[in-house]
Amino acid sequence: MLLPGMDGTGQLFLDFVEFLPESIETVIVEYPTERFLSYAELDEFVRAACPVSTPFILLAESFSTPLAINHAASNPPNLIGLILCTGFATSPVQTWQRFLCSVFAPLIFRLPLPALAAKLWLVGPDAPSSLLKAVKTAIRLVRPAVLIARLRAVLACDARQQLTQVMVPVLYFQARQDRLVSASCLVELQRIMPQMKVTVLDGPHLLIQRRPQIVAEVVAEFAQRLP
């Protein structure tokens, strides 16, 4: 089960899914684009999509990682693994920077995403034009008010206590050139869960989109080793 990033559309997972083995069936959870739902409310979407009788792995990207941690902490039936990609258990922005992000959120999301900003913060300076177009399209599908509220939810999140209650194996992907989620987020996760497996890859924040094949290979290997 794949939980998307800030856009919530799930469209940015399509290339990654193509590289997964045919033996791995995927379900992409899509969030509403016209209305904001809190992490607690989005959890209902996850529960509704969870397989009833077959084992599954929960893979969450960025915005969805606190949601995935919260859900995994409830020990849902048939969950056998958790994968967090460029994610966090608590706000990746701290102190005065968190306040500024909250204040300027309306300005950030009410204007079209500039290509320079997308390359700097999301896809990397050498990203192909096709990916840049896909990212901008996915963001345009979501109402600015929804994106603003999701950013503020990220700034206020704290799933550290729930992480201590996760009983399944956890894999974390860190992007070396991530400009949005710093290495300190991984340090905090490892402090709470030192047994967590970590894979570090060259790439920007949207690591799954820039390195879909190698991420798929690591995910497949992780899945094969689960009971």
pLDDT of residue 96: 46
What CATH number should be reported for the domain holding residue 6? Answer: 3.40.50.1820
Tokens encoding 18: 């193509």
pLDDT of residue 103: 55
If one counts the domains in the chain, the total is 1
Q: How many C-beta atoms lie closer than 10 Å to residue 115's C-beta?
A: 15
pLDDT of residue 113: 80
Domain that holds residue 97: 2-224
- Give the chain's residues under pLDDT 50: 96
From residue 179, how far is each of 115, 122, 203 by CA, in Å?
15, 8, 10
